[in-house]
Amino acid sequence: MKPILTPIVLIIFKIIFKPALSQLTLLSVLVMSCLAPAAARAQADSKFPEQAEALMKEYVQSELFTGTVLVARNGKSIFRQAYGAANREWVIPNTVKTRYRIGSITKQFTAAAILQLADENKLGLDDPISQYLPGLPTSWGPATIHQLLSHTSGIPSYTSPDDSDAKLMPVKHTPQELIDLLKDVPLNYEHGTKFMYNNMGYVLLGRIIETVSGMSYPDYLAQKLLKPLKLRNSGYDDGRIVVGQLAQDYTDGPDQVVKGRLVNMSNAYAAGAMYSTVDDLFAWQQMLIKGNMLSPAALKAMFTDGGYHYGLGWFIHQNHSRKLYEHGGNIGAYSSMLAYYPDDKVTIIVLSNYGDEVVGKITDALARLSLGVAPAHRQVKVDPRLYSRFEGQYELGSATFVIRSKGDRLFAQLTGQRQLEIFPESEYRYFYKAVDVVLTFDKDAAGKIAAVTVDQEGSKTRAKRVD
């Protein structure tokens, strides 16, 4: 039976317990306010796979991408999927276990190796490189290890758009031979005064690792980083060894898909010769940020912007009003991207063996989806019967835009380039999913399509219809 409280006892009860009840209520509100975003995030993550799959389907069905992607939050994967063929000759599909050459993401591993050696007091980041690499061109010697890591040395690079693909990259070169190719080339600028992304710097870092450790770069990588971290599906690709489950890379030829250009992996070396999987790269990134391999000071140095939106092996900048650590890689026709939003604890990894031009866009689209940021463009439904009005040729300087429709799809092709699908943002405004270009069709006074305005990242050019 319930005891009956007298009015006096009831008053005392209220006086004594009112503050406690208020505190309890406040605590409940605080707990619920903390749980609400977490619950909302969990609900959003439960829907994420379906949304991400729909997003990826657009790229795959448009024949823009084959590869593997992974998205994770708070250290746990929320989306992980593979698309297309790892080998088109044998019709072998990509899987989440497929290995890809990761190009310049290798620089993170090289940077970590150098920082490990610094943690062991075997070198100093401010040491001149001549201390470890005697015989370098005199002007190179004063550059510091830190300047190599941060791309701020003035040392010339051996890769350049004008000749690296056609002449240098298919031919085997030792690191010393790469140095010899550039020994008479003047510095790009005084060491430490500018930023210029430079593969030669990381080749020299590979040689420093070998000199200081007494191990070859591939052996150091395997014994000091990959094996301790149990990254069993990653390694150094010298181009001769058989790498199981390695995807073949493909690109667009004049009339059909062809194999990627020949690259002798000796030229990539410590700047870009690794292969990996999405799972290994995710494990690598997680163990790195948790401090499992570097001292707090070394880790801080790696992720500190040196003034050029670059740390040591990572680009550091803002995207969607959030801090972003990222690095991509391109080698042959392989393309890769590893992006991490530290404040949101969101990781996005995209590895591709076809479709290098869309890897950055896919990474950003998945980031927008996972962060709740509106897409850059919203596709709308348009009556495809309208497309016939756009078909024709449009003169763009010395090139020509050709617009064609196929059923309920619209395509644009610039002279010498691949035909790509464009998607409606409105009846007369269309965007690419492959590149950051928007086409707006312009009408004349009679209502006929007379031109198309090409907007590429804010730069607009008008192409007049000529057919």
Q: Residue 206: pLDDT band by 50, 70, 90 thresholds?
A: very high
In a domain, 34, yes or no: no
Q: For residues 309-338, give the mean pLDDT.
A: 97
Find the largest Cα–Cα distance for the chain.
101
* 358-408 per-position pLDDT tens digit: 999 999 999 999 999 999 999 999 999 999 999 999 999 899 999 999 999
Q: Are residues 357 and 412 in the same domain?
A: no
Q: For residues 88-113, give the mean pLDDT.
A: 98
Structural domain that includes position 317:
57-371
Order of strands, edge to edge, in the sheet holding 100-101?
A: 100-101, 274-276, 235-236
* 173-191 per-position pLDDT tens digit: 999 999 999 999 999 999 9
Q: Are residues 177 and 260 in the same domain?
A: yes
Q: Are residues 339 and 426 in the same domain?
A: no
The pLDDT score that the predictor gives to residue 154 is 97
**Picking from 67-81, 84-98, 241-255, which range would have the lowest pLDDT averaged per residue?**
241-255
- Please, what is the average pLDDT of the chain? 90
Residue 419 has what DSSP assignment?
Answer: -
Q: Does the pLDDT value for residue 326 go beyond 60? A: yes
Let me know if 37 is exposed, middle or buried by CB neighbors in 10 A (0-12, 13-18, 19+): exposed
d(C-alpha 411, C-alpha 424), whole Å: 11
CB contact at 8 A, 410 and 422: yes
Number of domains in the chain: 2
The pLDDT score that the predictor gives to residue 172 is 93
In a domain, 35, yes or no: no
Q: Does the pLDDT value for residue 467 go beyond 70? A: yes
More confident residue, 32 or 339: 339
Q: Residue 419: pLDDT band by 50, 70, 90 thresholds?
A: confident
Residue finishing a domain among 319, 341, 371: 371
Residue finishing a domain among 345, 371, 397: 371
Q: For residues 241-247, give the mean pLDDT.
A: 97
* 340-362 per-position pLDDT tens digit: 999 999 999 999 999 998 999 99
In a domain, 437, yes or no: yes
Q: Are residues 391 and 296 in the same domain?
A: no
The pLDDT score that the predictor gives to residue 25 is 56
In a domain, 49, yes or no: no
The pLDDT score that the predictor gives to residue 62 is 86
Residue finishing a domain among 346, 371, 396: 371
Kindly state the tokens that stand for 294.
Answer: 């570097």
The pLDDT score that the predictor gives to residue 5 is 39
Q: For residues 75-87, give the mean pLDDT.
A: 98
**How much of the chain exceeds pLDDT 90, in percent?**
82
Based on C-alpha coordinates, what's the Rg of the chain?
27
Q: What is the CATH number of the domain that holds 301?
A: 3.40.710.10
All residues at 6 or more sequence positions from 99 whose CB lies less than 8 Å from its CB, including other chains: 233, 234, 243, 244, 245, 246, 247, 275, 276, 277
* 211-241 per-position pLDDT tens digit: 999 999 999 999 999 999 999 999 999 999 9
* 400-411 per-position pLDDT tens digit: 999 999 999 999
The pLDDT score that the predictor gives to residue 385 is 94
Q: Are residues 390 and 330 in the same domain?
A: no
**How much of the chain exceeds pLDDT 70, in percent?**
89
CB contact at 8 A, 367 and 339: yes
Q: What is the CATH number of the domain that holds 447?
A: 2.40.128.50
Q: Cα–Cα–Cα angle for 18, 21, 24, nearest 5°? A: 155
* 23-57 per-position pLDDT tens digit: 545 555 555 555 555 665 666 678 999 999 999 99
The pLDDT score that the predictor gives to residue 19 is 42
Q: Are residues 358 and 461 in the same domain?
A: no
Q: Are residues 132 and 272 in the same domain?
A: yes
All residues at 6 or more sequence positions from 260 whose CB lies less than 8 Å from its CB, including other chains: 248, 249, 250, 251, 332, 333, 334, 353
Q: Residue 21: pLDDT band by 50, 70, 90 thresholds?
A: very low
In a domain, 178, yes or no: yes
